[in-house]
Amino acid sequence: MPTLHEVLEEKYSQYNTPTFIAGDPVSIPHRFTRRQDIEITGFFAAVLAWGQRKTIITKCSHLVDLMDGAPYSFITGHQENDLKRFLQFRHRTFNPTDALYFISFLHEHYARHQSLEDAFTASMQPGDTTVERGLNGFRNYFFLPEYAPQRTRKHISSPASKSACKRLNMFLRWMVRRDTKGVDFGLWTNISPAQLVCPCDVHVERTARRLGLITRRGMDWLTALELTEHLRGLDPADPVKYDFALFGLGLEERYTAKW
């Protein structure tokens, strides 16, 4: 019987391939080559990633169209009149107020920085073993303006609020992990893959519990850390690579062996 490590390695190799891209929200940033376009569309795709993947991709594609197919150029160069087109954009609880604030935040950020990476690393310190401090700092930075809508706060989570931060952890995985497989981008170099925390969607959580990688009740930040710590025992340098394996096994829904 194969060990848990062997099974996860096999499934990681199976799902971490270019064939995975087309049916996943990561396909949206893969349409671009410019660093800032990848960051912007990846950020939106991750934040909007709840519900059916097909619907998520459709909504994100519409959002890219609203930005004239050139997100960075639109974010940095749009006129006020150009924003009217977003007044009809909705995806589940993400509404035009949220979309307009996200655009405003990105406009202000890119006026001062070349990369969105700066927004996540500003609060991190040498010796940090995870991105926890970076996620907390990012949320504080994102909502720093006094005019930030209260309703929009639910779309950016943080460990400080005990959230598992699934969507932001997925975005960080896309931006930070680097290998030769072509799914994750590895654009950011000031965060190490070893510091990433595993994104915990329903498929990952269900599979991780079945395999004994999660024992805590509920899904919160400490649960995400528990899972990541177990995965770190299998690959200390790149624990979140097993996100592919757990997600794939969860989709298959037929893997019942326990270790």
Q: Tens of pLDDT along 81-92?
A: 999 999 999 999
For the residues 24-43, what does the mean pLDDT come to?
98
For residue 108, pLDDT over 50 is answered with yes
Per-residue b or e along 67-106, where b marks 16 or more CB atoms closer than 10 Å to that residue's CB = beeebbebbeeeeeeeeeebeebebeebbeebbbbbbebb
**CA-to-CA distance for 152 and 101, rounded, in angstroms?**
8
Partnered with residue 91 across adjacent β-strands are 94
Contact between 143 and 156 (Cβ < 8 Å): yes
Structure tokens that stand for 67 in this block: 């930005």
Structural domain includes residue 257: no
Give CA angle at 53 (7, 45), nearest 5°: 100
Partnered with residue 219 across adjacent β-strands are none
For the residues 162-182, what does the mean pLDDT come to?
97
**CA-to-CA distance for 29 and 12, rounded, in angstroms?**
21
**CA-to-CA distance for 155 and 140, rounded, in angstroms?**
13
**CA-to-CA distance for 214 and 250, rounded, in angstroms?**
14
Structure tokens that stand for 13 in this block: 């190799």
Structural domain includes residue 259: no
pLDDT tens, position by position, 128-142: 999 999 999 999 999
Closest CA to 173 of 197, 151, 154: 197
Structural domain includes residue 92: yes
User: What is the predicted pLDDT for the residue at 1?
Assistant: 84
Partnered with residue 94 across adjacent β-strands are 91
Give CA angle at 25 (20, 53), nearest 5°: 90
Residue-range definition of the domain harbouring residue 32:
4-252
User: What is the predicted pLDDT for the residue at 258?
Assistant: 43
Structure tokens that stand for 240 in this block: 């979140």
Residue with tokens 């660093």: 35
Average pLDDT, the chain: 95
**CA-to-CA distance for 156 and 166, rounded, in angstroms?**
10
User: What is the predicted pLDDT for the residue at 253?
Assistant: 64
Domains held by the chain: number: 1
Residue 255's pLDDT band, with cuts at 50, 70 and 90, is very low
Structural domain includes residue 33: yes
Structural domain includes residue 258: no
103: Cα separation from own chain's centroid: 18
